[in-house]
Structure 1
Amino acid sequence: MLKKLIKVHPSDNVAVALTNLQQGEIIEVDGEEITIQNATLAKHKVALSALNQGDSIVMYGVLVGKSGDAIGKGQVLTTANVQHDVAKVTQKTGTINWTPPQVDRFKGKSFMGYHRADGQVGTQNIWLFFPLVFCENRNIELLKEVFEKELLNKKEDKYRLLLRSLIHNDGEQDELVKEPQQERVFDNVEVRFISHQGGCGGIRQDSESLARLLAGYLNNPNVAGATVLSLGCQNLQVQVFKDALATINPDFQKRLLIYEQQKMGTVDEMLSTVIRESYEAIAAANEIKREPAPLSKLSIGLECGGSDGFSGISANPTLGHTSDLLVALGGKAVLSEFPELCGVEQELTNRCVNDEKANKFLALMQAFEKSAINAGSGFDMNPSPGNIKDGLITDAMKSAGAAKKGGTSPIVDVLDYGEYVSEPGLTLLCTPGNDVESTTAMAGSGVNIILFTTGLGTPTGNPIVPVIKVSSNRELAERMPDIIDVDTGAIISGEKTIEEMAEQLIDLIIDVASGRIKTKAMQLDQNDFIPWKRGVSL
């Protein structure tokens, strides 16, 4: 029989509705009867005891808010009767002992990856085109059109064909004329293009930050090499980019082609040279073949977007256990989205391997929150209308569920935006909670797979890193099957455990990392790239 309410942690004084509840229903939780006071939608929270104004609200075992008004036992929590509140954290107060999960099932397993000279292993083999400044975006788009048309077996644009049929047949022909598919020129290399609005204007620090991000993309193991376009007069000078690359990898050995338009004359002269030399480099990259690699060479990014009230009890804990399994196997995991760690700082601080890492985490959190407050905002304004509608009514409540993506393993490193992951184990990376800004940053820090949970649905992908989309509920997976790769709704229904779903997810990760399966975001050609300007972005 499906549970109707779930108490996530023994110390919680609220429970999550697993299904729609009717006013007057009597439900037993921990041997105590709860009479539902209001019609309550699934994913929302119900008070397990009477709360006076100002009382603490505890979920996942941490403070997630306080009662703005008196809340009766069995009453639903809303933005009208709950206020944001978090525990104050100033230092590491203890050490959390970790017992790694059993990984015998995965010992000795491997994936088929692209081995790089620096020891990293890619899950893809990509030749990347990007500009150092927005002035070159138009040239990047011209190159994209040329290379994608001639090199790649691109999926035909059915929407263009639909419009064509409407134009030529007065909208009466439903069957679209099929265009012949073009054979791929190269089978072992992908060509991707990114553009951006930075590199000049703004403040110099923004350009330096962008340089570190782009250098991280080039150093990412999924990238074989790159063609880079520069105008010449911009803030993000070629040397600034090269310096950022040298900082990340002093012994960088990939093929790198850089072109500066103001030194090359006409657009035609530059693009003709770019096309000839890039084609040669892409052909050479095509010679790199997949070879077996241990699972310790996997580096996973942990992301959530379009979260709902089930995310913290199904999809996110699944990622958490997956992270623990890969860490136990010697791999790397990265947890980002600092605004969505607000309220769980003490647990994360205590999980840091030493005081230096703990203090860096707290300093980054405090600086980020201060910048938000100075701009007239704050972490308490993080939950989106969609989050609130589906039961995440305070930032701390959202954060407590979001942090479950990081599992329980020790935190071996803490990185600021633009820094590159190097240590096996779990790393914290300072990014906004914005989905694309966060996934963009994780790819720039070296992850070769991104796991992305969602309760509401989001098509987010990345140009160089496969994104595996994990649904928190079955309804979403059935409504939007074109964007969801894994459905953890079976955890809500009680059909599967978190541990079972995590093992299933690792099997999929191995297939995606080996190139045997394309994720839904890859099939949709969803290649999102948004750098973070260090102003306020929640």
Structure 2
Amino acid sequence: MQQRLIKVHEDDNVGIAQTDLSEGEIVHFQNDNLQIQNPTKAKHKIALEELSKDAKITMYGVLVGKATMPIKKGGLLTTENVKHQSESVQGRKEKYRWNPPDISKWKDRTFLGYHRPDGQVGTQNVWLFFPLVFCENRNIQILKDAFEKELGLGKISRQRQLLRQLIQGKNPKVGEDAAVGERTFENVEVKFITHQGGCGGTRQDSEMLARLLAGYIKNPNVAGATVLSLGCQNLQIDLLKNALKSLDKDLQKPVLIYEQQQMGTVEEMLNTIILESFEGIKEANKIERKPAPLSKINMGLECGGSDGFSGISANPALGYTSDILAALGGSPMLSEFPELCGVEQELVNRCVRDVDAERFIDLMKAYEQSAERVGSGFDMNPSPGNIKDGLITDAMKSAGAAKKGGTSPIQAVLDYGEYVTRAGLNLLCTPGNDVESTTGMVGSGANIVVFTTGLGTPTGNPIAPVIKVSSNTEMAKKMPDIIDIDTGPIIRGETSIQQMGEEILEYVIKVASGEITAKADILGQDDFIPWKRGVSL
């Protein structure tokens, strides 16, 4: 029988409702009969003891808020009686000791990936088109339309079929997706990125965008790239070339760059791009999947549309997956710095090097100060959807979100646009915004992303598979077209976090090998939003 209430950590003074609870109901919990003081929906928090005004509220064993008024034992925690509070952060307190998971069953496992000359291995084989400036977005769109239709990459959507039937006066019947044509190439995908940057903003924005785009070229999932420049923009071609050299001075991938203001008419330029890019795509198609160790997986750890169960099912299960990968020599990445507020000390203690501990603190402080200067702050991070589902303070949200990073030592702390070079868990400074964060992790070398959600989020990426993991079965059943894995059995006590973590890794291996297509790729979710270093939580 499913428990009605759970406590995550032995030091916590709040519990999480597993099911809807009625006012006046008596819940037998840990040898105590707890009377529920308010109607409480599943996922929301209940005080396990009398809380006086200003009393500290502890969850996951860390401070996540304080009471703004007295809260009775069995009372519901809300935005009216609780406010955000977190512990102050010091330097590393002691050498971190880690008990890694048993990896004996994984150490000889492989995935089928695309091997690159620099030693990286891709989970996909993509020829990537992108502009250096938004002025070239239209030309990218023309190329996208031509390549997708003629290479058989696009599909007629069910919605387009429905509209076509209505126009023809037929009885509307929605059928299966119809492919535009036979695929010309089996081993290569052709993808297209557009964006609104490259000019008109600050020089710093253009420099950051150059580093991000260079990271996309460097990413092991990319076989080659076609780049369009106007010519007069802030993000000059030399900026991109310098960013590429800083990542790899001996880059051996084909990168074709075209500057419109040096090439005459649009038609002449586009014809040249098609002729030369087609030859590059043909060569990329010759690359085939070959076995690679799991240490070649750089896995982005993302969450979005979190709910009150995310921190007790999907996130800790993914954290266990992360620990296995780290123990194998892979490189999991934990990002979303606004959603690490309140757990900084734990993460600082896990840093292997003092320089990374100090850098993490500095990046967090600078980020929060930039938010405060415009009247915001990390305490304003929870979205309306988060709050509605029980995540009422940023520290509460962060404590659950950080569980994606497991318990392994932190080998490096990276700023946005920096590329992963150290095996093991990496922290990457990004916003909490789902797409900006996922965009950043892939630009830092993630060749696959696992994305947990409690409310449902359809985010994907142009060059890296994004696997969606639901925190609860209800949402997985409601949105089966976007959810790959359901961790709801953890909530019902049908499986353990460790077992589910292993299931996630098995699924990752299949997606990385091309045996399974992630739901986000089936839906064509090629989302790409660079972070402008202003305020984005």
TM-score interval for Structure 1 and Structure 2 normalised by the shorter chain? over 0.9
* 1:42-441 equivalence runs, <5 A: 42-169=42-169, 172-174=171-173, 181-441=180-440
How far apart are the structure 2 equivalents of 1:318 and 1:100? 15
How far apart are the structure 2 equivalents of 1:9 and 1:305? 23
Question: Structure 1 regions of 5+ residues with no counterpart?
Answer: none
CA deviation vs aligned residue, 1:96-154 (integer Å, no higher than 9, x gap)? 20011011111211000000011000000000000000000000000000000011342
**Amino acid of the structure 1 residue aligned with 2:93:** T
**Amino acid of the structure 1 residue aligned with 2:518:** T
In the other structure, the counterpart of 1:2 is 2
**Amino acid of the structure 1 residue aligned with 2:54:** G
**Amino acid of the structure 1 residue aligned with 2:74:** G
TM-score by length of 1: 0.99
**Worse-superposed segment, 240-249 or 23-32:** 23-32
Q: Tell me the SS of whatever aligns to 1:65.
A: strand
Contact 1:194 1:529 in 2 (8 A): yes
How far apart are the structure 2 equivalents of 1:180 and 1:245? 36
How far apart are the structure 2 equivalents of 1:522 and 1:382? 29
Contact 1:451 1:470 in 2 (8 A): yes
How far apart are the structure 1 equivalents of 2:372 and 2:145? 43
**Amino acid of the structure 2 residue aligned with 1:481:** P
How far apart are the structure 1 equivalents of 2:475 and 2:330? 30
Q: Tell me the SS of whatever aligns to 1:377.
A: coil
Q: Tell me the SS of whatever aligns to 2:155.
A: coil
CA deviation vs aligned residue, 1:25-52 (integer Å, no higher than 9, x gap)? 2223322221111110000000000011
In the other structure, the counterpart of 1:452 is 451
How far apart are the structure 1 equivalents of 2:301 and 2:62? 21
In the other structure, the counterpart of 2:525 is 526
The offset of 1:168, in angstroms, is 1.6
Q: Tell me the SS of whatever aligns to 1:361.
A: helix
Aligned pair in 2 of structure 1 residues 218, 174: CA closer, same or farther (>3 Å)? same
Q: Tell me the SS of whatever aligns to 1:104.
A: coil
How far apart are the structure 1 equivalents of 2:3 and 2:155? 44
Aligned pair in 2 of structure 1 residues 119, 180: CA closer, same or farther (>3 Å)? closer
The offset of 1:322, in angstroms, is 0.2
Contact 2:149 2:180 in 1 (8 A): no
Q: Tell me the SS of whatever aligns to 2:475.
A: helix
Contact 1:161 1:177 in 2 (8 A): no
How far apart are the structure 1 equivalents of 2:488 and 2:167? 44
Aligned pair in 2 of structure 1 residues 69, 436: CA closer, same or farther (>3 Å)? same
The offset of 1:179, in angstroms, is 5.9
How far apart are the structure 2 equivalents of 1:83 and 1:251? 52
**Amino acid of the structure 2 residue aligned with 1:73:** K
Identity of matched residues, %: 65
**Amino acid of the structure 2 residue aligned with 1:495:** E
Contact 1:165 1:177 in 2 (8 A): no
CA deviation vs aligned residue, 1:301-334 (integer Å, no higher than 9, x gap)? 0000000000000000011000000111111100
How far apart are the structure 2 equivalents of 1:167 and 1:160? 11
Contact 2:19 2:41 in 1 (8 A): yes
**Worse-superposed segment, 159-168 or 27-36:** 27-36
**Amino acid of the structure 1 residue aligned with 2:399:** A
In the other structure, the counterpart of 1:498 is 497
Aligned pair in 2 of structure 1 residues 373, 107: CA closer, same or farther (>3 Å)? same
How far apart are the structure 2 equivalents of 1:175 and 1:133? 39
Contact 1:206 1:533 in 2 (8 A): yes
How far apart are the structure 1 equivalents of 2:161 and 2:408? 51
Residues 1:38 and 2:48 are matched in the alignment: no
Contact 2:152 2:179 in 1 (8 A): no
CA deviation vs aligned residue, 1:219-239 (integer Å, no higher than 9, x gap)? 000000000000000000000
The offset of 1:355, in angstroms, is 1.2
**Amino acid of the structure 1 residue aligned with 2:452:** T
Q: Tell me the SS of whatever aligns to 2:480.
A: coil
In the other structure, the counterpart of 2:15 is 15
Contact 2:155 2:178 in 1 (8 A): no
CA deviation vs aligned residue, 1:146-176 (integer Å, no higher than 9, x gap)? 000011342222212211211120x634366
Q: Tell me the SS of whatever aligns to 2:173.
A: coil
How far apart are the structure 2 equivalents of 1:177 and 1:74? 51
Contact 2:147 2:153 in 1 (8 A): no
How far apart are the structure 2 equivalents of 1:181 and 1:152? 6
**Amino acid of the structure 2 residue aligned with 1:78:** T
Q: Tell me the SS of whatever aligns to 2:245.
A: helix
Contact 1:165 1:176 in 2 (8 A): no
Aligned pair in 2 of structure 1 residues 155, 414: CA closer, same or farther (>3 Å)? same
Aligned pair in 2 of structure 1 residues 32, 120: CA closer, same or farther (>3 Å)? same
How far apart are the structure 2 equivalents of 1:285 and 1:467? 23
CA deviation vs aligned residue, 1:245-284 (integer Å, no higher than 9, x gap)? 1111122110100000000000000000000000000000
**Amino acid of the structure 2 residue aligned with 1:90:** Q
**Amino acid of the structure 2 residue aligned with 1:238:** I
How far apart are the structure 2 equivalents of 1:153 and 1:427? 35
How far apart are the structure 1 equivalents of 2:155 and 2:178? 10
Q: Tell me the SS of whatever aligns to 2:292.
A: strand
How far apart are the structure 1 equivalents of 2:206 and 2:149? 32
The offset of 1:64, in angstroms, is 0.2
Q: Tell me the SS of whatever aligns to 2:190.
A: strand
**RMSD (Å) for aligned C-alpha atoms:** 1.1
The offset of 1:66, in angstroms, is 0.2
How far apart are the structure 1 equivalents of 2:411 and 2:257? 36
Q: Tell me the SS of whatever aligns to 2:309.
A: coil
How far apart are the structure 1 equivalents of 2:509 and 2:176? 38
Aligned pair in 2 of structure 1 residues 179, 396: CA closer, same or farther (>3 Å)? closer
Aligned residues: 537
Aligned pair in 2 of structure 1 residues 108, 178: CA closer, same or farther (>3 Å)? closer
The offset of 1:181, in angstroms, is 4.6
Contact 2:382 2:397 in 1 (8 A): yes
Q: Tell me the SS of whatever aligns to 2:499.
A: helix
Q: Tell me the SS of whatever aligns to 2:533.
A: coil
CA deviation vs aligned residue, 1:361-385 (integer Å, no higher than 9, x gap)? 0000000000000011000110000
The offset of 1:178, in angstroms, is 8.3
**Amino acid of the structure 2 residue aligned with 1:141:** Q
How far apart are the structure 1 equivalents of 2:179 and 2:296? 39
